[in-house]
Structure 1
């Protein structure tokens, strides 16, 4: 018997081809059958500077020959210490404590446990987490609990805890979101522990965009009512929305921030949950029962930390922001072209992310249009993975003008074919 691979978010019963990638460089994936595929979604939103960036590769090679892994409970190492110091140049001053984990989902789980522990260690019974409709925060149990309920997690509903949900701030209906948040925050019988949001743009929920002004107002309401504010910057962080972190555009400093994906340039798993001093201090005690009870075997893996340090070096020494700004300008131009097409709608842009809908009767993640589009793009050597009938582009920052033009052209071909 041959052991078979079970791929994530893949319905093997459909018999769709699964290409084998043998190497990658920049924005290109090279397959075993000799094709060069333009990676227009940064390999699921992780690649920032492109595949196999020489500085990150060299850092991994050097570190793996020096110290590969060490327990991080009660021990430390130089790459982690260097990373903590380096992150202080990118994070707001008040986010001065960082906790390492290994993925976006675990960074979110850590944030939830920090928030609940903060209140528990002060003798306050606050358990309710507030979330935004259509959100996605990961696939572990806690992360699923605070995400949108539906096809993603129907089978696991008995395991999920209850949350308080506020509506997504649709354009023209933002006040309903703010009113719902105020209502939850002023509930004296069940005061919330925290609100968690994806700042400015919801990823897997359909690339839904809202304004920095609303983000800032939600943060203000939470501050006013002593509710912790958690920013899930796992996808939005490291330049995706046009700034290093999306919260910058709203002038918001959260109590807790989650980051992963682009933290290592998208090369190797590593996550950080950054917290303010009050969050840390609530767990600081001579009482061992108040310690923060969380870890994973590979917490602060030295090789991953070395990759992250190389990522920070790239941000310091290379024209990353100029690359981001250029992609945003190209997207804006293409968005204006798309505006002339019939049967597409909701064209929106946030930094290096451009999205729109191809009008479809189902209009959701399970739309049959999604797999059809996926195959159409793959046949034309472009990696785009629509969210149902929602098409989006989120390229690595190194993508060339020629490659980006090819992506745009193939998208227009798809619109002509399917719309």
Structure 2
């Protein structure tokens, strides 16, 4: 990228969570292969973020590339209304095979946020089909489910990036976040807040939605699996459908194929995205139980009222099929397990650091919670200069590397995090 392009980008292109008048620096990536991003100056840096959780097999994977090339020769896109195609049918077969037996009706969309919107719409229409006008949802604080409006309404209203939109969003129910962490002892008191809300408002609640085990943008905390089990019991008792948002955690990130497997519970609706295509192209799925799908379909309207233009996109389906083919070889289980062990060994000692509050590790997720806020521009520059790509937020420095990362490459990531913690100028 030449200086003219840089200037144009700075002046005209709005990047995520950034300002047009005082934007954060952007680094020009010319290509990517394996775990490396190649910058325009020729420097290669190790990607510790998997492009926001998605590129689980790294970049330019030959199996994924081959599938994309094969599909694009046939057709890159065709509308899904009144049309189907082999790639979509094949992918649905795989998703139904991978997920619990109860989940067997697949609805495609083009992003994670939209998959959440679809799940919410499904349950609103589900209750309408049963003659009830339920429209409120119950979740827990510190959650994050996307940046579209319905998704924002079920993300934490006080402590999230969506606080400025609070007055424009529906007022849903928010229980206290569980205190029992994944590796600690279960505390029954964690259920009190949720239980009170669902008992009092059970006839108003259309559904419960949770990020199973891992709360992402809301603080990168991992809660106890027993919490999910108890929530499922309450949902079943009050006949309230349960949605699991596995957009970030699905496809192996936590050490299980899906995070809800840590608790051995099954939702009524499952939302998938991010890693579904191995980070090659945007795609998502909302998978419901047959009961919910049939109730909606047998209702007054007779069909589910949603249909994205790029729903069932053949190119995305082909990539997702190839991604699952790679996963089914089961190398990811060993890869994620090895990453977890190394993260424990190399990040856990940072608990003694004066600038560290906590270190949290689960599967291929490593989180260092700092005492002070990061200076985003400064710390990003520091990371790039030291050969890694890590994008922290607030007080959190976290990594979610591609599963194919080598011990040596992962060690570089963790060492640079240690070096950053020793540099006061990188924090506010």
Bin of the TM-score, shorter chain as denominator length:
over 0.9
Corresponding residue of 1:18? 26
Distance (Å, rounded) in 2 between the aligned partners of 1:161 and 1:284: 26
The question of 1:226 aligning with 2:239 is answered: yes
Corresponding residue of 2:161? 152
CA deviation after TM superposition for structure 1 residue 400, in Å: 1.1
Listed one character per residue, the Cα deviations across residues 93-143 of structure 1 (whole Å, up to 9, x for unaligned) are 110111000110000001111111111101122221011101110000000
Corresponding residue of 2:134? 126
Distance (Å, rounded) in 1 between the aligned partners of 2:369 and 2:233: 32
Corresponding residue of 1:321? 333
Which of 37, 47, 55 in structure 2 is aligned with 1:39? 47
Aligned ranges for residues 186-197 of structure 1 at < 5 Å? Answer: 186-187=199-200, 190-197=203-210
Aligned ranges for residues 347-358 of structure 1 at < 5 Å? Answer: 347-358=359-370
TM-score between both structures, scaled by the size of structure 2: 0.92
Distance (Å, rounded) in 2 between the aligned partners of 1:270 and 1:389: 30
Structure 1: segments with no counterpart, 5+ residues: 361-366
The question of 1:406 aligning with 2:412 is answered: yes
Corresponding residue of 2:275? 262
Contact in 2 for aligned 1:41/1:393 (Cα 8 Å): yes
Contact in 1 for aligned 2:225/2:263 (Cα 8 Å): yes
Which of 212, 215, 220 in structure 1 is aligned with 2:225? 212
Corresponding residue of 2:319? 307
Corresponding residue of 1:57? 65
Instruction: Go from structure 1 to structure 2 and tell me whether the alpha carbon gap of 1:368 and 1:314 turns closer, same or farther (over 3 Å shift).
Output: closer
Which of 150, 170, 192 in structure 2 is aligned with 1:161? 170
The question of 1:395 aligning with 2:404 is answered: no
Instruction: Go from structure 1 to structure 2 and tell me whether the alpha carbon gap of 1:92 and 1:241 turns closer, same or farther (over 3 Å shift).
Output: same
Which of 49, 69, 82 in structure 2 is aligned with 1:74? 82
Corresponding residue of 2:3? none
Contact in 2 for aligned 1:166/1:177 (Cα 8 Å): no
CA deviation after TM superposition for structure 1 residue 12, in Å: 4.3
Contact in 2 for aligned 1:358/1:389 (Cα 8 Å): yes
Contact in 2 for aligned 1:107/1:259 (Cα 8 Å): yes
The CA RMSD measured in Å over matched residues stands at 1.9
Listed one character per residue, the Cα deviations across residues 177-227 of structure 1 (whole Å, up to 9, x for unaligned) are 412222222225743111101111111111011011111111111111111
Distance (Å, rounded) in 2 between the aligned partners of 1:17 and 1:182: 46
Listed one character per residue, the Cα deviations across residues 61-103 of structure 1 (whole Å, up to 9, x for unaligned) are 1101102211112211100000011112210011011100011
* Partner SS, residue 196 of structure 1: strand
State the number of aligned residues.
412
Structure 2: segments with no counterpart, 5+ residues: 1-6
Contact in 2 for aligned 1:184/1:191 (Cα 8 Å): no
Distance (Å, rounded) in 2 between the aligned partners of 1:274 and 1:43: 24
TM-score between both structures, scaled by the size of structure 1: 0.94
CA deviation after TM superposition for structure 1 residue 156, in Å: 2.6
